Chains A and B, each alone.
Chain A
Amino acid sequence: EVQLVESGGGLVQPGGSLRLSCAVSGFTFSNYEMNWVRQAPGKGLEWVSYISGSGSIIYYADSVKGRFTISRDNAGNSLYLEMNSLKPDDTAVYYCAREAVADRFDYWGQGTLVTVSS
């Protein structure tokens, strides 16, 4: 059974940092591209970042470029999102999502809430 479990969310002050993790199981992690998608309270879905199976190709949304860093540990079956210089607009539930090759997001985690507030 494919499972993705996010962790690391919480309350952080503006300008602060947080590291999200996504632990996966039930599939060969290194064979799949991965993404982070976020959803602000009461709003729609916003793609945040992508990483290829090897980690050699990475993309970011303009809204987080230069502040967020995506990475992965294929041996440990984990995906990460390092978030720095956080702003109130970054407040959202953050989901990790598996991507079938250059394709749809076929499995999602349950999400972890990040709240940026003083």
Chain B
Amino acid sequence: EIVMTQSPATLSVSPGERATLSCRASQSVSNNLAWYQQKPGQAPRLLIYGASTRATDISARFSGSGSGTEFTLTISSLQSEDFAVYYCQQYNNWPRTFGQGTEVEIK
């Protein structure tokens, strides 16, 4: 099973600042990596797939990069609606596995 490790667990950021979230895979997943956003009481929402492709209707504030085992999600200028938990997920191998999440909170 591929283990996905996200860091940090919590990221405190002021509105308007940049946020950088990391995700590491225990073995290569090529670019088969997605990022999801989850707000309290809501289902996850797909943000990024293929490591760097924004999903439909996702703001250009969100960008993804990386391949192999190291990946990054960047939120260029945090808006109030961006404070949430973010998960990475690999879909290169079975079982599909998620990282433990990074909570982006208001500083």
Contacts and interface: CB of A to CB of B under 8 A. Distances in A.
Nearest to A102: B91
B96 interface: yes
B98 A104 contact: no
Interface string A45-77: 111001000000001011000000000000000
A100 B98 CA distance: 17
The contact size tier of chain B is: 20 to 34
Contacts of B34: 104-105
A60 B1 CA distance: 13
Contacts of B45: 108
B60 interface: no
A109 B43 contact: yes
Contacts of B94: 50, 59
B49 A104 contact: yes
A103 interface: yes
A47 B96 contact: yes
Most buried by A among B34, B94, B96, B98: B96
B46 A105 contact: yes
A103 B43 contact: no
B49 A46 contact: no
Given A45-B44, A95-B43, A109-B43, A103 B91 contact: yes
A111 to B, nearest CB: 6
A102 B94 CA distance: 10
B66 interface: no
Contact of A44 (B50, B55, B100): B100
Contacts of B43: 95, 108-111
B97 interface: yes
B87 A45 contact: yes
B52 interface: no
B99 interface: yes
5 contacts: A44-B98, A50-B96, A95-B43, A104-B46, A105-B89
Interface of B: 32, 34, 36, 38, 42-46, 49-50, 55, 87, 89, 91, 94-101
